[in-house]
Structure 1
Amino acid sequence: MTTTHVPAEERTRRRAVLDAKHLKLAPAPAPTGGAAYEWTRRFDAAPAAPRLVRLHARTQLTVHHWRGNIEVAVAVASVLTSNAVTHAMPGPLHDGPAIALRLTVTDADELLIDVSDPLPEFPDFAAAVAGRTTGHGLWQAARLGATLIWFPNADTEGKTVRALMTPGPVPA
């Protein structure tokens, strides 16, 4: 693996350009109920991102008393973040651009986990969810009870992968 050194000020400039250009959160398909609670945060697309997402998602869902299985929801958020870091951030910018996480709890107590990245397409999404690709992250999220969709961001070049979770038992 070849590593290219990019000076800190250039990484900061590139990150700012990518954030401004690619990572406005998309107007998402409407959830079942209105939003009772919404929280958004950006994370650097770096190996530590899934760990940070687990920490923040667990805290937010606990503080706001989501009635679903918080540990399973945190695992799903982590998987989606790991996929964004691994697949959507190739090349020398891998340690710079941000991904966005949005947690929305609806009035119907559904949890929407949205992870946005600057890559506009998602080839073989259905195969990934079904576990018919080399990676198994989306398949794992589906097995944990998440309903998964993806959509292009309306006003930017990126995309959002969404997991819908409802309180109740986790599939075996």
Structure 2
Amino acid sequence: MEPPPQRPALLAGVAPAPTPASAAVLLPYTNSPRLFEQFWPLAFTPSAGPNARLRMRPWLTLARWHGNIDQASRVADKLVDNAVLHGRPLPGSYVHLRVFGLPETDELIIQVDDALPEFPGFEEAAAQSGEVHGQPKGLWWVAHYRGQLCWDTRQDDDGQIVGKTVQALLPATWDGSA
């Protein structure tokens, strides 16, 4: 049996290389085996973020994820809220929330899809330190909970770009160890 592939340290504190606002930072782990998985289409409304949080808490409890469920629920709320505030609705006026666990490390992947194929300001959002400076807002919570943020464009079956997926990878433990 081979050891799991090496991943960048969650606590390294090194910001990713800056990229243009419209350049994607490819999503890791999209085809990884999954410990559990859940998907919710959420109405593209201002209450979508809190709705995501309410759905995540009991579901992660039932899935028996070993990480901090309140932290994961807050990150889901902020990712969905960010999609509603800065993205575009998917057909039917939805935003999609997907969550799954990685069996090797017990890390949690939270993905949110919207119809805007760009992520302006990604480099600033991904490079946040997680240190408290004033009132915490939005995607800062990913860094605060020692998570990693990335994104990529979404394509339909014909290869047409139809939006983006924003992904947060959260460790099961505060220090990032499995």
Rounded to whole Å, the distance in 2 between the matches of 1:167 and 1:131 is 20
1:38 equivalent to 2:24? Answer no
**Which residue of 2 is the match for residue 99 of structure 1?**
95
Structure 1 stretch 136-145 or stretch 30-39: which is displaced more?
A: 30-39
**Which residue of 2 is the match for residue 128 of structure 1?**
125
**Which residue of 1 is the match for residue 80 of structure 2?**
81
Give the 5 Å matches for 1:104-123: 104-108=100-104, 109-123=106-120
1:141 equivalent to 2:139? Answer no
**Which residue of 2 is the match for residue 13 of structure 1?**
none
The residue identity in structure 2 corresponding to 1:161 is V
Long gaps (5+) in structure 2:
1-26, 130-135
**1:160 positional shift:** 0.6
TM-score normalized by structure 1? 0.72
Long gaps (5+) in structure 1:
1-27
The residue identity in structure 1 corresponding to 2:167 is R
Structure 1 stretch 122-131 or stretch 51-60: which is displaced more?
A: 122-131
CA contact (8 A) 1:121 1:158 kept: yes
Counterpart secondary structure, 2:28: coil
**Which residue of 1 is the match for residue 17 of structure 2?**
none
Could you list the per-position Cα deviations for residues 58-105 of structure 1 after superposition, in whole angstroms to 9, with x for gaps in the alignment?
11100010000000000100000110111113xxx79x6100000001
Higher helix proportion, which one? 1
Could you list the per-position Cα deviations for residues 123-169 of structure 1 after superposition, in whole angstroms to 9, with x for gaps in the alignment?
2201123359xx94122221122110011113241101100011112
Structure 1 pair 49/66, CA: closer, same or farther in 2 (3 Å)? same
Give the 5 Å matches for 1:6-25: none
**1:33 positional shift:** 5.2
The runs of at least 4 aligned residues of structure 1 exceeding 3 Å deviation read: none
**Which residue of 2 is the match for residue 60 of structure 1?**
59
Q: RMSD between aligned alpha carbons?
A: 2.5
Indicate the percent of aligned positions where both proteins have the same amino acid: 37
Counterpart secondary structure, 1:115: strand
